[in-house]
Structure 1
């Protein structure tokens, strides 16, 4: 890569590279800015499948089609064209900054000596990611904390991926799995399933969405125990629920946590809780609880094991003063702002 880029730095010109997220592929879900940038572009570069998704928008333009594994080639080609004074739209499905072309393009540009003050202008046009477009088709699975993990080990060592799966599963994140399976990579999804089954029940809801908002869209609702038996490929996103996620009427929902504070039948506040205030088991309440456990003879090691937190963190909590609770915040209008 370095040799290719070193030859580019000798070129001159003024141009622009736009990193465009085209969303799931259906033009109805593409942003107005994405359409504008593609319309303004002299050249459009992208993976062959993505080029097909915007075919109606790029007639008459210079089109550069690249294969799946040619991400660096796409970025280098975009830089070459921009140095010739052209406006280049480098397209990604979803969002260019989420497993898209923004990362490799920055690497190529920095290697070539580019800075934001250089002659070549750079714009990133955000787009809806596979994670939230797939979620929109199956209900509200991402209402609480979530993460995304790619199972592709083409560039990332498997132990790194496995540690991330372990961390997400043990911390009870809703998890979206990108690149879950391909013709050559068939074992990774089984390993991910095994790690999650160590922390989640076999009945944990799972949604598998293939080609969201495209003509061959397919949605399959299943469970953690049965997900590996489903039709999963490179065009699939796998959404694994957390310990509270449920399915009702075919819709996958992860509660935000309102039931911890409010009675769901009438919205009244539960005993010991106050609207607009941290949960009684929030930071201050938990620190007070831990301080009481210390006073009763518990050790940092005991509580680190109980709460699944680092020993050093419990040592920090041990040194904290016992929180003082005040009702002052309840009278503060800002404290009652919904999150």
Structure 2
């Protein structure tokens, strides 16, 4: 059953923040998006500097700050603080309204825009096409005095309007004729049901509005209290049935997703045709299909995954202890796994189907193929997080990571489980993630920066490589790239990494200091630009100066150096200096140090206006002398 994405609450200025937070209280998974030019950079929510192992700074901060596991309470605290202090705190900042709303709309994200309805309409108008696929879009007055559903009538926009209006204690401005007359959207059945034909549905509702009456056949509990024009002898009928529509214009068909098909083998290339043939032979609609079940030995079969996607249903796996009994899986397994009232029939060699009277929840049938996605939150500001990372967080059942980074990735829905751990428990965390995912859960492992740069991707792969656990190999593993601290600092400075470069961690927690010294010396001799992670800590304040002495043996004193502290996070600072002037006193554990090559240059640009501020740039040319 599809779950609606968390809405984006979009505001233009601080005058709408109090209303936005009240709406957010109703949708804890939602985030407030504010226009960058009108909000202080302190409002940006962010992540760490792009590394995990040996990150003493985050370790110490995490121990001091702790972690609030109850995300709803965390959200409530922030809402109350914002309302009391009038702070300009938003969760995500965006650059330009029109493009941003179109991006949200195109991704299927429900939009709650706290501005004039006309502004929203003009922004998304170029994308309007298919009414059946548009997400809910609402305009809400900044002071909360009006809630206007604009788009997404078939996606529950009026239900959202009622929820928001209730939270704001105002009446919703619903204008849909059918909803006003009947108190519900007949064409928007609840999760677990599917409308047979939207075009037929629109004609059917139009007839009811014109005076026709209807009877209801089957279990339509959501219509029990709706003031529909009913008559037991009416020619028109709303039918709730898994049977396929026969084209009768007098019927509005709604299909419960109450059919499960089980296949004994993993022939994904023929699965779609076999399933559709089995449904057609019994007059069942493909829209009534809830899941396809196959043996667990088929986990990871891409052809089967494509088949399930083509059918628009979940692919579930049944554990079969004895391969010799695989051919008997379809009927026997369905009889054991599904409610007694289901009708179960053989539908051909190696295929059976079950039909229930009411929708079946795929999550209760067998198990899903587990998924583990390793993401990086980026360098700090929320808009620099990869969209794929946002999607993974949205779809996750479980979120794991160092407590500080997990907290930065929230807030989370009440149905999502959060597993924060200490910074030095990387391997235990990775193994825990695989155990959760191998049980069919969708797990996200959170890192800061890029997960493959001194972060959790390597630990996850090491855990898989050394596990000796064959069931872990069935997990769908994906690593989503992120913006590392070195890349973010370089982008802010210009392009100091424009030619060959290397990244080095100066932490000796996981490798000997002698190895670090050797690598620094070789990189300096090779004239590579060097990006230093973990440059200093309270436990090892001397190591940066020692590394700098090694570099100075091969590099001139006027070599350009960039220091980026908390780049893309609140209080960020960027300083350009030289190798000769640099000392460890200029750096702390949250600083990225980029030491240029012999060709790296720094220059300034001055705006034509005398009042303009000069801008210094650092870059390494693409050529080499």
TM-score, normalization: structure 2? 0.38
CA drift at 1:224: 1.0
Determine the structure 2 residue equivalent to 1:119. Answer: 474
CA spacing shift, 1:238–1:155, aligned 2, 3 Å:
same
What is the SS of the residue equivalent to 1:118?
helix
In 2, Cα distance between the equivalents of 1:115 and 1:25? 37
What is the SS of the residue equivalent to 2:482?
coil
Matched-pair contact (CA < 8 Å) for 2:506–2:516: yes
CA spacing shift, 1:116–1:180, aligned 2, 3 Å:
farther
After superposition, the C-alpha distances for 1:6-52 in whole angstroms (9 at most, x for unaligned) are xxxxxx97411111122113110111111111111001111122123
After superposition, the C-alpha distances for 1:82-131 in whole angstroms (9 at most, x for unaligned) are 13321110011111111111111111122223569932111111111111
Determine the structure 1 residue equivalent to 2:384. Answer: 29
CA drift at 1:145: 0.8
Determine the structure 1 residue equivalent to 2:579. Answer: 224
Mapping 1:10-89, distance limit 5 Å: 14-56=369-411, 58-60=412-414, 61-89=416-444
Determine the structure 1 residue equivalent to 2:255. Answer: none
What is the SS of the residue equivalent to 1:244?
coil
After superposition, the C-alpha distances for 1:47-101 in whole angstroms (9 at most, x for unaligned) are 1221232223x34321111222111121122122113321110011111111111
What is the SS of the residue equivalent to 2:433?
helix
How many pairs align? 247
CA spacing shift, 1:230–1:220, aligned 2, 3 Å:
farther
After superposition, the C-alpha distances for 1:107-161 in whole angstroms (9 at most, x for unaligned) are 1122223569932111111111111111001111011111111101001111111
Deviates more, 1:106-115 or 1:43-52: 106-115
CA drift at 1:226: 2.3
| Residues 1:241 and 2:241 aligned together | no
| Residues 1:139 and 2:494 aligned together | yes
CA spacing shift, 1:152–1:81, aligned 2, 3 Å:
same
What is the SS of the residue equivalent to 1:52?
helix
Determine the structure 1 residue equivalent to 2:526. Answer: 171
| Residues 1:256 and 2:611 aligned together | no
In 2, Cα distance between the equivalents of 1:92 and 1:80? 19
Runs of 5+ consecutive residues of structure 2 not aligned to the other structure: 1-318, 320-366, 605-615
In 2, Cα distance between the equivalents of 1:71 and 1:112? 14
In 2, Cα distance between the equivalents of 1:55 and 1:224? 40
Matched-pair contact (CA < 8 Å) for 1:26–1:53: no
CA spacing shift, 1:72–1:243, aligned 2, 3 Å:
same
Deviates more, 1:166-175 or 1:116-125: 116-125
CA spacing shift, 1:117–1:62, aligned 2, 3 Å:
closer
| Residues 1:199 and 2:559 aligned together | no
Determine the structure 2 residue equivalent to 1:312. Answer: none
Determine the structure 2 residue equivalent to 1:90. Answer: 445
CA spacing shift, 1:115–1:32, aligned 2, 3 Å:
farther
What is the SS of the residue equivalent to 1:155?
coil
In 2, Cα distance between the equivalents of 1:124 and 1:220? 33
Determine the structure 2 residue equivalent to 1:320. Answer: none
In 2, Cα distance between the equivalents of 1:115 and 1:227? 51
CA spacing shift, 1:195–1:110, aligned 2, 3 Å:
same
Pick the structure with greater CA Rg.
2
Determine the structure 2 residue equivalent to 1:332. Answer: none
Matched-pair contact (CA < 8 Å) for 1:25–1:53: no
CA drift at 1:252: 1.2
CA drift at 1:233: 2.5
Matched-pair contact (CA < 8 Å) for 2:377–2:385: yes
In 1, Cα distance between the equivalents of 2:401 and 2:506? 22
CA spacing shift, 1:99–1:115, aligned 2, 3 Å:
farther
Mapping 1:289-304, distance limit 5 Å: none
In 2, Cα distance between the equivalents of 1:23 and 1:137? 14
In 1, Cα distance between the equivalents of 2:419 and 2:472? 27
What is the SS of the residue equivalent to 1:227?
coil
In 1, Cα distance between the equivalents of 2:582 and 2:407? 30
CA spacing shift, 1:131–1:116, aligned 2, 3 Å:
farther
Mapping 1:283-322, distance limit 5 Å: none
CA drift at 1:231: 3.7
TM-score, normalization: structure 1? 0.69
Deviates more, 1:234-243 or 1:219-228: 219-228
RMSD across aligned C-alpha pairs, in angstroms? 1.9
